[in-house]
Chains A and B, each alone.
Chain A
Amino acid sequence: MKIEQYTPAEERLFYVLLALGGLVSAIGLAAAYYMEHFGHAVTGMTNQVFWGLPHVFGIFLIVAASGVLNVASIGSVFGKKVYKPRAPLSGLLAIIMLAAGLAIIMLDLGRADRVLIAATHVNLTSVFGWNMILYPVFFGLVGLYLWTLMDRRMNAYYKAAGFSAFIWRLVMTTGTGSIFGFVVARQAYQSAILAPMFIIMSFAWGLAVFLLVQRSMYSWNNMVLHPAVRQRLKNLLGTFIAAVLYFVIVYHLTNLYYAKQVAFEHFILVSGGIYPVLFWGGYVLLGTLLPLFLLYHPAIWKKSGAVSVAAALTIVGGLCQLYVFIIGGQAFPLEMFPGMEVTSSFFDGAIGTYVPSLPEILLSVGGLGIGFTLTVVGVRVLRFLPQDDLAMLTDAGYLHD
């Protein structure tokens, strides 16, 4: 890889970005300390809605981390040339996003000081417990994969490493989906479809993040993505978005007709206040239909920025979707006595409300800041700018004109 000197302007930009990311991360850490010190009383979380905004952001990052590796997998596992130069960036982002997501979840623990216990006492019947094994191995495999890509002596093994990372990340996302899928008690979660649904969501969100990062790196370097490459990637994103939509529809239909969770579905889709708004407005309209339109309208997708906007919208839609899924799923009361009206001092039978407090918001955004800072540093130190070799692409038949 050829090393170029950074221009003074690039230097300045790097330090500005670093300072910005560092500040946001520091504020997030301070918020976590504040929550830890005063207890979760300072959050909007309650005994009914006990997983809040940090879980939405944390789980988003963890799921997307696995998906962002997809770009690399398509290159090494499925041998598509156009993705190969993108593999290092994809691997780096995967590691960083997983770290950032875990950081948010860990910092939100009631006893964050005991986080080591999570590693020393592992209950293997717990899906959460498995994840304590799945995550570190993922770090290791992706690290190994990056090594095989970067070090010429190791190049021979990159396919094997890529393949194991690919398999492992499918297992890992299955594990994340199963955190919810195994919860039989709740109307929202007891569904076998959650594991494959989380895998597809990870593809869409991960690619969206990747495209945004790639786009920023290109524009800082005054480069433009080759239109043919751009078209491939945007078609891939469109396919993933459509696939997620398909799974979401199947999930709600099975809930309605097979599991007979009519009351719950009515709550999430029609009557539940913020949740239907986020579902239809946030996920369906902003996060699915609009990006699909931007990506497939024959004139619009070619415009500069259209794909990036679609990717950003996909991320917004994903966050809305997780909010509805995680928070809406808890807000809906547990059904203990079917066919009965229930009241109690503990808000049984009542819809739970949740309004995130400032510390939670800062912690969640702080997690994004951690990811951002690490990316800025990682990209600069490792120089993972995806460079397309045009001659190679032409040979491979990607460039027709």
Chain B
Amino acid sequence: MSERNQTEQDSGNGGASRRNFIGAVAAAGGLAAIAPGIHLVQVSQARPAGEGASKAVRWGMLIDTTKCASGCNDCVKACATENGINETVKDARQGSQWIRKIDIKEVKTGTTHSLPMMCQHCANPPCVDVCPTGASMKRADGIVLVDRHICIGCRYCMLACPYKARSFVHQALTEQNPEVPRGQGCVESCTFCVHRIDKGQQPACVETCTQAGHNAMLFGDLNDPNSEIARRVAQVTTTQVRADLKLDLGVRYQGI
């Protein structure tokens, strides 16, 4: 625990100058958003080396279910490739699924929707509350991650997550992508492609959905009033799944 406090203090000391810097980046981002098209490729600039994630940012996603076709699995495939999810499992129920497509049908009307479901990056994440070791954690910019270095694999977070967003790795892995470490005995979930975001790129699922022309997924900073996602969330009616739990989700849905 002492080491962790130490790092927290470190980041506290650097806080003031960092905030100033982030302000500048945010302003630059605002300018970029005014020029149409730019934000589709780059959500923000990559943080310079040595800068931590900023509290000023809240990464989020808006999913337009009216544009998401049942049977389309592009985002799921993109996620698997990006994050090196490639192990063969004997029992499909033991395989990891960071993102999955859910088909829902209203019982009364028969209306159907299709949507990708993944970690909702809750602002009040139950998984973080229950984790006995602090392995489940929320980064300053709202991304919820599992610190596999201290995860003991108790699976309590899986019990607590209302979205079945977490998977437990049931076997030894060897074919990981270098930027996405993952392994046996720990719990994992969608990271919003944190390694890409930190380089200023979009999550793999969003990039693929956009490049394939579906345009059902939008990613950006919910805290930046000039970002496209913030403007859309302000304009259209969006839904948080299980809003009754008041978890303040980072992922919003439109059209359900």
- Report which A residues bind B (CB closer than 8 A): 36, 38-41, 43, 45-48, 50-51, 109-112, 114-115, 117-118, 120-123, 125-129, 131-132, 179, 182-186, 189, 330, 334, 336-337, 339-348, 352
Contact = CB atoms under 8 A, between A and B. Distances in A.
22 contacts: A36-B185, A39-B170, A39-B184, A41-B89, A43-B170, A46-B91, A46-B94, A48-B164, A110-B152, A115-B152, A125-B128, A125-B129, A127-B130, A132-B132, A185-B126, A185-B160, A337-B104, A339-B107, A340-B106, A340-B107, A345-B76, A345-B100
Contact of B152 (A51, A111, A342): A111
A114 B105 CA distance: 44
B213 to A, nearest CB: 23
Contacts of A39: 169-172, 184-185
B130 A341 contact: no
Contacts of B4: 121
B100 A344 contact: yes
B154 A346 contact: no
Contacts of B93: 46-48, 347, 352
Contact of B156 (A45, A126, A184, A186): A126
Given A125-B129, A334-B164, 15 more contacts: A41-B171, A47-B93, A109-B153, A110-B169, A114-B152, A117-B133, A118-B132, A121-B133, A125-B130, A185-B161, A185-B245, A341-B105, A343-B102, A345-B100, A348-B100
A185 B245 CA distance: 8
A334 to B, nearest CB: 6
Interface string B82-104: 00000001111111110011111
A110 B187 contact: yes
Interface residues on B, range: 35 or more
Given A41-B89, A110-B185, A185-B126, A345 B97 contact: yes
A342 B129 contact: no
**Chain A interface, DSSP helix/strand/loop, else mixed:** loop
Contact of A114 (B95, B150, B163): B150
A288 to B, nearest CB: 27
Contact of A47 (B94, B106, B151, B241): B94
A110 B117 contact: no
B242 interface: yes
B1 interface: yes
A335 to B, nearest CB: 8
B90 A41 contact: yes
Given A46-B94, A110-B185, A346 B152 contact: no
A109 B242 CA distance: 30
A334 B245 CA distance: 13
A337 B158 CA distance: 18
B100 A122 contact: no
Contacts of B166: 47
Nearest to A353: B93
Contacts of A48: 93, 164
- Shortest 5 CB-CB contacts between residues of A and residues of B: A110-B153, A110-B185, A185-B162, A46-B93, A128-B132
Contacts of A341: 104-105, 107
Given A41-B171, A185-B161, A339-B108, A344 B155 contact: no
Contacts of B168: 40, 45, 47, 50, 110
Contacts of A330: 159
Nearest to A105: B154
A344 B170 contact: no
Contacts of B108: 339
Most buried by B among A47, A112, A129, A183: A47
A41 B154 contact: no
B50 to A, nearest CB: 26
B167 interface: yes
Contacts of B163: 334, 336
Most buried by A among B76, B162, B164, B241: B164
Most buried by B among A45, A48, A110, A342: A110
Contacts of B156: 126, 128, 179
A109 B164 contact: no
Contacts of B126: 183-185
A48 B93 CA distance: 7
A40 B164 CA distance: 18
A54 B80 CA distance: 32
A186 B92 CA distance: 23
Most buried by A among B102, B107, B117, B150: B102
B176 to A, nearest CB: 15
B162 A184 contact: yes
Contact of A340 (B104, B162, B172, B185): B104
Contacts of A128: 130-132, 154, 156
B151 A336 contact: no
B186 interface: yes
Nearest to B90: A41
B255 to A, nearest CB: 13
Contacts of B150: 114, 117, 121
Nearest to B154: A109
Given A121-B150, A341-B107, A345-B101, A40 B170 contact: yes
B133 A122 contact: yes
B15 interface: no
Contacts of B186: 110-111
B137 to A, nearest CB: 9
Contacts of B103: 342-344
B167 A344 contact: no
B134 interface: yes
A340 B133 contact: no
B52 to A, nearest CB: 20
